[in-house]
Structure 1
Amino acid sequence: MYKKYFKSFFDYIVALLALPVWLILLIIIAPIIYFQDKGPIFYNAFRLGENGRKFKMYKFRTMKVNASDIRNEDGSTFNSENDPRLTKIGKLLRKTSLDETPQLINILKGDMSIIGPRPDLPEHFELYVGNEIRKLEIKPGITGYNQAYFRNTIPWKDKIKNDIFYVDHLSLYLDIKVFIKTVQAVILQKNIFVNKAK
């Protein structure tokens, strides 16, 4: 009942209530991002959504204009606190997870959920094996089981296993646990960066 009906309703209401606060953040953050290197405010890229549907995901831009694309060995995005591609404000946005807040728009558009598997790149679809495609059975989330408990400390394939665990055990109780754990992780700023590719 929760998975089929109430989860999307709760997502929409929470995103709608959070939107005025986010607009205040936008007014503060947007000029800083722009004036640091005169680049765009947002980083918009296609991701895999529910049932494999592609959608454009929104983030505050954290990297310098025309930054190179660096990947880990498993195909996931490289992430390091000392990454020279990050702008000064970008490093702060990453640490506080404020770079993800524009995804409230994705929730209001029906592309994402507050809690769910983090969306993969479209090219990752070809890298799924076995039942890994099952992570696409539900909408991706701004945060999720991996972000709450592991953040960036485990390989991509392990994250997929956790995503499937979440899909199989999705409930209001689990979502509340993930949300509380996410808040704790953001406040304590744990496991945000990795210093080498996995």
Structure 2
Amino acid sequence: MDIFGSITGLIVFFPIFIVLSILIRIDSPGPAIFKQKRIGKDGRPFIFYKFRTMTNNADETAHRDYIRKLLTEEDVKPENNGKEKIFKLVNDARITRIGCFLRKTSIDELPQLFNVLRGDMSLVGPRPPIPYEVELYEEWQVKRLSVIPGMTGLWQVEGRNKLGYIDSIQLDLEYIKNWSLWLDIKILFKTISVVFLRKGVA
């Protein structure tokens, strides 16, 4: 399913890749594709692709500190306009104009189809964490690294950015425990609904 889905997606969205690559470069200096080290199954690192939504070479210090607060359950509500704890910074000055649109529509995730084709990721599974996230994991949280990470997953369709970070990890573990091909298919169809209706999108 992953190979067929990724190849089909790359063919269907190829024109969008071309247009967005041009628009991103016009909007701000730098490459159209953002590359970052992520942690995959069994702790194996790989290079993760997204359309760039921030200024080139943006400082990750703020995000690193934010993740630390979320994993230690410190109060982070003021940074998100009093809403529930979520793990995407809101009103981040590093986000470009087109980057804001790409994030809201989740189009920035499309280059991960290359990761799926390479076998680094699956269409469905837990999101691949950044190395400094894994460094802060407790033992029970490491279990989410026991499967291939995915482009979408259970927490994305059950609450997405409105969920707390710990809640999202618990849903990832629930997905791993109850995995089936039918569950993956349901999540894929729900993801389409979430993206088009923009439910839970920050």
Under TM normalisation by the shorter chain, which class is it? 0.7 to 0.9
TM-score, with structure 2 as normaliser: 0.85
**Alignment match, 1:97:** 106
**Alignment match, 1:18:** 9
**Alignment match, 1:6:** none
1:79 equivalent among 83, 86, 89: 89
Letter in 2 for 1:62: T
Does the 8 Å CA contact 2:29/2:55 hold for their aligned counterparts? Answer: no
Unaligned stretches of 5+ in structure 1? 1-9, 194-198
What is the CA distance between 1:21 and its match in structure 2?
A: 1.8
**In structure 2, how many angstroms separate the alpha carbons of the residues matched to 1:67 and 1:77?**
17
**In structure 1, how many angstroms separate the alpha carbons of the residues matched to 2:172 and 2:32?**
30
**Alignment match, 1:110:** 119
1:189 aligns with 2:198: yes
Structural mapping, 1:1-198, within 5 Å: 10-69=1-60, 70-71=62-63, 72=66, 73-74=69-70, 78-80=88-90, 82-193=91-202
Letter in 2 for 1:84: A
**In structure 1, how many angstroms separate the alpha carbons of the residues matched to 2:155 and 2:137?**
18
**Alignment match, 2:79:** none
TM-score, with structure 1 as normaliser: 0.87
Count, aligned residues: 183
**Alignment match, 2:74:** none
What is the CA distance between 1:84 and its match in structure 2?
A: 2.4
Letter in 2 for 1:22: F
What is the CA distance between 1:77 and its match in structure 2?
A: 5.0
Deviates more, 1:13-22 or 1:89-98: 13-22
Unaligned stretches of 5+ in structure 2? 72-85
Distance 1:102 1:18, change over 3 A: same
Does the 8 Å CA contact 2:87/2:164 hold for their aligned counterparts? Answer: no
4+ runs deviating over 6 angstroms: none
Does the 8 Å CA contact 1:149/1:181 hold for their aligned counterparts? Answer: no
**In structure 1, how many angstroms separate the alpha carbons of the residues matched to 2:47 and 2:25?**
21
**In structure 2, how many angstroms separate the alpha carbons of the residues matched to 1:77 and 1:156?**
6
